[in-house]
Structure 1
Amino acid sequence: MGRVKVLGACPLDCPDACSWVVTVEDGKATGLRGNKDHPVTRGALCVKVNRYLEQVGSPDRLRYPLRRVGPKGSGRFERISWDEALDEIATRLTGIVAGFGAEAIWPFHGTGSLGYLQGLEGYPGRRMFNVLGASHHAATICSVAGGTGLRYTLGTSGGMDPEDFARSKLILLWGTNPLTSGHHLWKFVQDSGAYLVSIDPVRTKTSERCDEHIAPLPGTDAALALGLLHVIVSLGAQDERFIAEHTEGWPEFRDRITEFTPERTAAITGVPQEQIVALGERIARTRPTAIRASQGMQRHAGGGMALRVLACLPGVTGDWAIPGGGLHYSTSGHFRLDDAALVRDDLLPHPVRTLSMTRLGEALLETDDPPVKALFVIGANPVGSNPDQRRAIEGLSRDDLFTVVLEHFATDTVDYADIVLPATMQPEHLDVIAGYGHLYLVWNEPAVEPPGECLSTTETFRRLSHRLGLTEPALYDSDEELARQLLKGHDLDRLRADGFLKIQPGSVPADKLQFVSTRAELAGHDPLPDYTPPADKGDGLVLISAASHYFLNTSFGSNPELRRRAGDSTITLHPDDAAARDITDGAAVLVSNARGAFEAVAEVSDRVRPGVAATTKGRWAKFTDGATVNATIAERDSDYGGGAVFHDNRVEVRPR
């Protein structure tokens, strides 16, 4: 067969959505590198994805369907055929629909892949679940609060083109650590020569490369932004022309800004008053100023409100009208693809309920109208990723819950499955990816045959639909047909040939920027941007569980080399907080609250501000004595959209 190079795309939950090139020799993938022609990837992959072919070829990979033979949680399975697996699933689903109605079925999609065909963006299998009338899945775990807040202010969550950071003169990296999560942005940041400010309770890898680091208390970002606006307006540095022509509600918002004096802002945020004033003055005199805010900063009680306020800041200074100015949160709002044609909600026989991803424990243990009797876990590892790990496990342990997991590896969640179906990985199937950190569609061409009996997610649901006797023709569309339906209006053939295609962004703001939001008011929220304090006001330290440099959510959590490089689970404490607890550097500690506990090794460092403890997410419970940081996190909603509150979490830390 010789040696060929195949264009593909990284499917992982990262803003960069890299274009890659797979080298195939005699039918085997022997090399993987970033696509040098892609304007964002520029030939480079991250430390995690550089090992992706190790994952694909791992001896631990699931290759055949499995049936549970031990108790739930034991991880004991036997190999079965695809016919046996599909027959059992079809029989169980038919009985559940007859006894409880189809809404007792929950297709639980996660961010293991962001593909439009095989992953979360297109909800694979949704056509089949719609024909049945199953419950809908709300993917609330990641960015929904911030995206909703931006839409209240801007009419879109699209934001600025990240490539325009190369034009900025001042860049605020707000609650983001791109050198760990989405490092390709850093190239444009470096090209700018801008003054760089990291705003983060932790001095991260990125903070150390910036000109200035400001460390607010977690969850106080909106107050800090309002305090900066107070300084700007006090100097008369607002852009009156932009405000008059492109915004609504300025007089009311200006009154709100006056409430956040530097003194009050310092008291709320823990940031010294002089630092607030100095940064406000810098913003006031520097055009263009750009803000990069990522998903971590909105995972608290006031996360959606925080993004509303941040979007207002360039509205006051007029930066939205200047190339290199504005705010970048997620570019996904710019991708005008035909999602409706892909998921086909018109196939629903009647309206159905929606179940929230972040409320898994509640839904499995408390919902009874009807109860959830069948759970399909697709590209997700909720035991490792969901809040309130104990309740999630309790729900998954129900004997009367029929759980099917489509997976690559025997994750913590696989251990609770009744049937496990082996899924293809990215070099083995067709897919379309859209970055949320750039404006490119990326094509993924299959490069190699899948191992064993692995099937793509789309093919799995085609076969299951047939086994269920469903006759709707749309359930049997090929992957190529699905791609053409999704990309209607785009040049699919060019995309497939070149590997990527830049889309044209929409206007930001979409119309006039709403300092006063009628949409927010109709949804029961304050029409004016404000500061919403954290909900967890208990004693102890505020725990942040940020992204790891070596895992991506729980992907790569079983990779031996990446686990070795990540080292033991650690928790970083400020020296003052460690001393108050008689904790020394390297000590074994227990991190706990009323919800649960996990074990870690203490790192005593001034990288975290006083009052804050920092750890990383992504570890598997089976490698950490049965519990991870998510054992301590509340199954509670943020202010907008039902988002998660991973960083609105107080814990106590004590020596073990």
Structure 2
Amino acid sequence: MAEDTKLWLKPISRRKFLALSAAAAGGAAALATLSWDSKAGAAGGGAAAATEETIIPTSCVHNCGGRCPLNAHVKDGVITWFTSDQEGNDSPDFPQARACLKGRSQRKRLYHPDRLKYPMKRVGKRGEGKFERISWDEALDTIAGELRRIKSTYGNEAIYINYATGIYGQISQSWITPAFGGALKRFLNMFGGFLGYYNTYSTACYSYTAPFTYGTVEGVSPDNLLYSKLIVLFADNSAETRMGGANHHYFLLQAKEKGARIIVVDPRYTDTAVNVADEWIPIRPTTDNALLAALAYVMITENLHDQAFLDKYCLGFDEEHMPPDVPPGNSFKSYILGLGEDRTPKTPAWAEAITGVPRNTIIKLARQIATIKPCCLIQGWGWQRHAYGEQPVRGLPVLAAMTGNIGLKGGGPGLYYGGHGVPVAWMPAGENPVKASIPCFMWTEAIERGHEMTAADGVKGADKLSTDIKVVWNYASNTLVNQHADANRTARILSDEKKCELIIVHDIFLTPSARFADILLPDVTHFEREDIVTFASGIGYAIYHQKVIDPPHECRSLYWVCSELAKRLGFGDRYTEGKTEEDWLRYIVEETRKANPDFPTFEEFRRKGIYKVAPREPIIPYKKQIEDPANNPFKTPSGKIEIFSPRLWAMNNPREIPAIPKYVPAWEGPEDPLKEKYPLQCISPHYKRRVHSTFDNVAWLEEAARQELWINPADAEKRGIRDGDRVKVFNDRGATITYARVTPRILPGVVSLPQGAWWTPDPDGVDTRGCVNVLTKYHPTPLAHGNPQHTNLVQVVKA
């Protein structure tokens, strides 16, 4: 073939690629030249003729919330470019699920020169990143032998699967919960079990705490916004975190076109605020409950609240609706009016001093929320990743109740979004024989003192742990170091080989976490295997992503690894049941069709690649409870919305776990005396150019949106910092170097450094890539034991 016909080997201009970030739809373009020599041919249903292009359905499978369909264009066994969803007519009620710039840049990951190629074992000190190549037999024999030894010595409770969201799929699932199945969970269950975890790094305070108010966690589907007249977003930035074509931000845009007023409350003037907000209200991090309390004060004192709704459906709003035997002054209304223990009315002036939000702005916002109906209050997850993140989770639903917007079309319960989903079966994993579990954020503590941990430390399923963690299996995860709090502390713990005795890492790159592996296994990408992934938002769908190309070098899938280990450990036949991965996918489709006969056959699903469902009506949480409370009580002990929680009252920790949602001044918040030394509050939002830490090594995305620290011009001027300068951000835990973005889009006294940049310390231990987790603190929240990684005081100087 003539060289000039090989169009897929010709890189497009960077300018053209960057322009794609503004063009949210339509075609894609061929990406850069191959970075390593791949002679692999297309496989599965994608065998390509030598000179013909074949289009094969596949997907993104990352944890951005989108999981959009992709079409891989393959020529001579090489993926030349990607397009996205082009099925049907794109319409507001049934939009196409178009991929964002990350999905369209997948070739830069797939053909990256740093792909792991062979199994390796550590030869230096743990964490140095020194490895030597070994055979698969040696790698698997070593892992099997160590698993036997550790099980015999410590028991199965010593084995831990690290929290991970790098891969989603009904077989190759990296996030392990009791409700999910998949290859890794099935393997370890058959081996005798493992120490489980609960919560997530994304939503620990949210998912753990919301049931204390409602009994369950149920959010409106995004299409409900189309019926709202007022939408107030608290710490929600879906323009960056939910970018796919059928995702949350699409419906915000549609709601705005239909006339909804949209207000964004956030320390930053986010891309969401830029796109849809009629008003931006900046607020100091960790102070959200002071704002919520002041909003409630205005509603109560101006008699704007829905007292009839509160009387009928709620427990603990006022003294007349409190549980028996609770002393007077402990209702929510008493707290707001200053009739409780602190004797402080929660006036707008009180809140202004704490939050930085002007009192007149608070009064105006309260009146809008109380009088414009239906009003949908949405809480993002950013504000609950704080020192006392449990409080705003319970605080915003009180305003939803005070305004009678719960169970109402266009309204909402003041929680995060729910979504229309397509239930799909799993590769069966069975039950975990080990019943103990820990909060996922506390795994480093379980390495150091697991044998001491009890229910007071968040242990569930057992009175206490019997052992420390001795094995960490880290699959498709950079949480081992990069995404966990206080990276320097974590590295010190993992470096001690007497604590955790075996670390297995199975990934496609030598990430900062992979550098701490004892045995390092090269994984395949999702373009090199087959699986099924699902999505739930304003519409629901399931994607069958085909194997598009063969894996390079000696990369192997999770199912293959687990099957080979199961053989060595004596249960290979029971593990595989004689099935290939395709056989398991056929089983999954058959089981799904038993519950949903409309679901396509395996052949049809695999050929088409996507199954979409158009919802008839939006999801309106707690509608039945509001319309017929006698027959549909809330799943709380009282059957009501518990503004006052007797369960929290019984914990007898009113300072940190109050029975009603309160403003609790945060350590390393704006009232901490440490501000004298470290005067800037540092938050770490999600970034549009990454999915957590995934894609951080894609150079084109770096150029589209480089890692940088947002700093207000007033704070920059004090420090002699100009836009684009290299700056050092530091506190007592560590330091990092990055670029300054001097912008009025962030509140004075606050800086913002996006999470996910790969930890890259220099010889002095100073990170050189802007990894925020050298600054964050390991300090679990008091109730959920969740991560508080937006609660940091720092100083910034010119580097």
For residue 56 of structure 1, the aligned residue among 110, 114, 127 is 110
Contact 2:119 2:136 in 1 (8 A): yes
Deviation by residue 1:378-406 (Cα, 9 ceiling, x = unmatched): 12112211101001111222234321111
For residue 564 of structure 2, the aligned residue among 434, 455, 463 is 463
Question: Residues 364-375 of structure 1: matches in 2 within 5 Å?
Answer: 364-367=447-450, 370-375=467-472
1:282 CA drift (Å): 1.2
Residue identity in the other structure for 1:237: L
State the alpha-carbon separation in 1 of the partners of residues 619 and 56 from structure 2: 28
Structure number with greater Rg is 2
For residue 601 of structure 1, the aligned residue among 733, 736, 739 is 739
Match in the other structure for 2:12 = none
Contact 1:432 1:441 in 2 (8 A): no
State the alpha-carbon separation in 2 of the partners of residues 427 and 40 from structure 1: 27
Residue identity in the other structure for 2:133: R
For residue 180 of structure 1, the aligned residue among 218, 236, 240 is 240
1:290 CA drift (Å): 1.5
State the alpha-carbon separation in 2 of the partners of residues 148 and 296 from structure 1: 15
* 1:542 lines up with 2:681 in the alignment: yes
Contact 2:407 2:621 in 1 (8 A): no
Match in the other structure for 1:164 = 224
Residues 241/424 of structure 1: CA separation in 2 closer, same or farther (3 Å cut): farther
Residues 97/77 of structure 1: CA separation in 2 closer, same or farther (3 Å cut): same
Q: Give TM-score scaled by structure 1 length.
A: 0.90
1:373 CA drift (Å): 2.2
Match in the other structure for 1:127 = 186
* 1:425 lines up with 2:528 in the alignment: no
* 1:77 lines up with 2:143 in the alignment: no
For residue 709 of structure 2, the aligned residue among 556, 566, 571 is 571
Match in the other structure for 1:270 = 356
* 1:588 lines up with 2:716 in the alignment: no
* 1:230 lines up with 2:313 in the alignment: no
State the alpha-carbon separation in 2 of the partners of residues 236 and 622 from structure 1: 56
State the alpha-carbon separation in 2 of the partners of residues 139 and 367 from structure 1: 18
1:630 CA drift (Å): 0.3
Q: Which moved more, 1:37-46 or 1:273-282?
A: 37-46
Question: Residues 214-225 of structure 1: matches in 2 within 5 Å?
Answer: 214-225=281-292
User: SS where residue 239 of structure 2 aligns?
Assistant: coil
Deviation by residue 1:428-481 (Cα, 9 ceiling, x = unmatched): 334343446445242233232441333332332232222221368356575324
Match in the other structure for 2:395 = 309
Q: Which sections of structure 2, spanning at least 5 residues, go unmatched?
A: 1-46, 319-330, 338-344, 452-465, 626-633, 635-639, 762-766
User: SS where residue 280 of structure 1 aligns?
Assistant: helix
* 1:380 lines up with 2:497 in the alignment: no
1:620 CA drift (Å): 0.9
* 1:147 lines up with 2:214 in the alignment: no
Residues 374/573 of structure 1: CA separation in 2 closer, same or farther (3 Å cut): same
Deviation by residue 1:209-228 (Cα, 9 ceiling, x = unmatched): 32111111101112212222
Contact 1:16 1:438 in 2 (8 A): no
Contact 2:298 2:366 in 1 (8 A): yes
Residues 328/355 of structure 1: CA separation in 2 closer, same or farther (3 Å cut): closer
Residues 311/34 of structure 1: CA separation in 2 closer, same or farther (3 Å cut): farther
User: SS where residue 499 of structure 1 aligns?
Assistant: strand
User: SS where residue 13 of structure 1 aligns?
Assistant: coil
State the alpha-carbon separation in 1 of the partners of residues 611 and 686 from structure 2: 28
Residues 356/148 of structure 1: CA separation in 2 closer, same or farther (3 Å cut): closer
For residue 32 of structure 1, the aligned residue among 56, 79, 82 is 82
State the alpha-carbon separation in 1 of the partners of residues 424 and 664 from structure 2: 34
User: SS where residue 320 of structure 1 aligns?
Assistant: coil
1:555 CA drift (Å): 0.1
Answer 1 or 2: higher relative contact order, Cα 8 Å, separation at least 6: 1
Contact 1:136 1:355 in 2 (8 A): yes
Residues 294/413 of structure 1: CA separation in 2 closer, same or farther (3 Å cut): same
Contact 2:144 2:569 in 1 (8 A): yes
* 1:616 lines up with 2:746 in the alignment: no
Contact 1:598 1:628 in 2 (8 A): yes
Contact 2:59 2:67 in 1 (8 A): yes
For residue 530 of structure 1, the aligned residue among 642, 657, 662 is 662
Deviation by residue 1:123-168 (Cα, 9 ceiling, x = unmatched): 6412332342322234531112112222222222221011111222
1:307 CA drift (Å): 1.3
State the alpha-carbon separation in 1 of the partners of residues 206 and 94 from structure 2: 24
* 1:203 lines up with 2:290 in the alignment: no
Match in the other structure for 2:68 = 18
Match in the other structure for 1:298 = 384
Question: Residues 248-397 of structure 1: matches in 2 within 5 Å?
Answer: 248-251=315-318, 252-258=331-337, 259-326=345-412, 327-331=414-418, 342-345=428-431, 347-348=432-433, 350-352=434-436, 354-367=437-450, 370-382=467-479, 383-397=481-495
State the alpha-carbon separation in 1 of the partners of residues 645 and 423 from structure 2: 24
User: SS where residue 319 of structure 1 aligns?
Assistant: coil
Match in the other structure for 2:314 = 247
State the alpha-carbon separation in 2 of the partners of residues 293 and 315 from structure 1: 15
Deviation by residue 1:38-95 (Cα, 9 ceiling, x = unmatched): 8676242112122123322333222332222333233233333322211110011111
1:334 CA drift (Å): 7.8
Residue identity in the other structure for 2:272: T
Residues 175/491 of structure 1: CA separation in 2 closer, same or farther (3 Å cut): farther
Residue identity in the other structure for 2:441: T
RMSD across aligned positions (CA): 3.0
Residues 296/357 of structure 1: CA separation in 2 closer, same or farther (3 Å cut): same
State the alpha-carbon separation in 1 of the partners of residues 68 and 156 from structure 2: 38
Q: Which moved more, 1:395-404 or 1:17-26?
A: 17-26
Residues 595/502 of structure 1: CA separation in 2 closer, same or farther (3 Å cut): farther
Residues 637/123 of structure 1: CA separation in 2 closer, same or farther (3 Å cut): farther
Contact 1:63 1:451 in 2 (8 A): no
State the alpha-carbon separation in 2 of the partners of residues 343 and 434 from structure 1: 18
Residue identity in the other structure for 1:372: I
Residues 458/484 of structure 1: CA separation in 2 closer, same or farther (3 Å cut): farther
Q: Which moved more, 1:623-632 or 1:305-314?
A: 623-632
Q: Which moved more, 1:309-318 or 1:572-581?
A: 572-581
* 1:494 lines up with 2:600 in the alignment: yes
Q: Which sections of structure 1, spanning at least 5 residues, go unmatched?
A: none
Q: Which moved more, 1:507-516 or 1:551-560?
A: 507-516
Percent of matched pairs sharing the same residue? 27
User: SS where residue 206 of structure 1 aligns?
Assistant: helix
Residue identity in the other structure for 1:142: S
For residue 546 of structure 2, the aligned residue among 436, 442, 446 is 446
Q: Which moved more, 1:627-636 or 1:50-59?
A: 50-59
State the alpha-carbon separation in 1 of the partners of residues 589 and 441 from structure 2: 29
Residue identity in the other structure for 2:692: N
Q: Which moved more, 1:642-651 or 1:465-474?
A: 465-474
Residue identity in the other structure for 1:187: Y
Match in the other structure for 1:515 = 643
State the alpha-carbon separation in 2 of the partners of residues 97 and 53 from structure 1: 41
Residues 314/8 of structure 1: CA separation in 2 closer, same or farther (3 Å cut): farther
The number of equivalent residue pairs is 651
1:6 CA drift (Å): 4.2
Residue identity in the other structure for 2:699: P
State the alpha-carbon separation in 2 of the partners of residues 160 and 378 from structure 1: 32
1:342 CA drift (Å): 4.3
